[in-house]
Amino acid sequence: MKILYVCTWPDTLTDFDPKKSWSTCFGAKTLYLKGIQIEWHTHRRDTILYKICKWLPQADQIFAQLSCIKKARKYDIIYIGFDMHLLPLGLAKWCGLLETPVFIVSHFMYNTRFSKNILKKLFTIIERKIVYRNIEKISFASPSLLSLAQQDYNMPNRHHSSCFWGANTHYYNPALFQEPARRDIYIGVGQTNRDYDTLIKAFTVMEKSRCEIYTKSSQKGGGLPHNVTYINLMAGLTLNAAYKLLREKYYHCKAVLIPIKTLNDVPNGATVLVEAIAMGRPVIITKAETNFIDVEKEGVGMSVEPGDVQGWIKAISYLENHPEELEAMSSRAYRLARKYYNDDNFTRNIYLHMANLLR
CA 315/CA 306 separation, integer angstroms: 13
| pLDDT of amino acid 260 | 95
Closest Cα partner for 351 from 109, 17, 105, 100? 105
Q: What are 173's strand-pairing partners? A: none
Write phi, then psi, for 178 (nearest 5 degrees). Answer: -90, -10
Task: Judge whether 232 and 215 are in contact, CB under 8 Å.
Answer: yes
| pLDDT of amino acid 15 | 67
Kindly calculate the radius of gyration of the chain based on its CA atoms and give it in whole angstroms.
21
| pLDDT of amino acid 181 | 86
Distance of alpha carbon 85 from its chain centroid, rounded? 15
Residues of the chain with pLDDT under 50: none
Q: pLDDT, tens digit, for every residue of 153-196?
A: 788 999 999 999 999 988 887 788 888 888 889 999 998 899 99
CA 54/CA 50 separation, integer angstroms: 5
| pLDDT of amino acid 337 | 96
Residue count of the chain, please give it.
359
- Mention every residue, 6+ apart, whose C-beta is less than 8 A from residue 122: none
| pLDDT of amino acid 201 | 94
CA 150/CA 153 separation, integer angstroms: 6
| pLDDT of amino acid 37 | 92
H/E stretch holding 283 reads: strand 283-286
CA 204/CA 181 separation, integer angstroms: 25
SS3 231: strand
Write phi, then psi, for 215 (nearest 5 degrees). Answer: -130, 175
| pLDDT of amino acid 120 | 85
pTM of the model: 0.91
Count of alpha carbons within 13 angstroms of residue 120, beta-carbon side: 12
CA 271/CA 255 separation, integer angstroms: 15
Q: What percent of the chain has pLDDT over 90?
A: 63
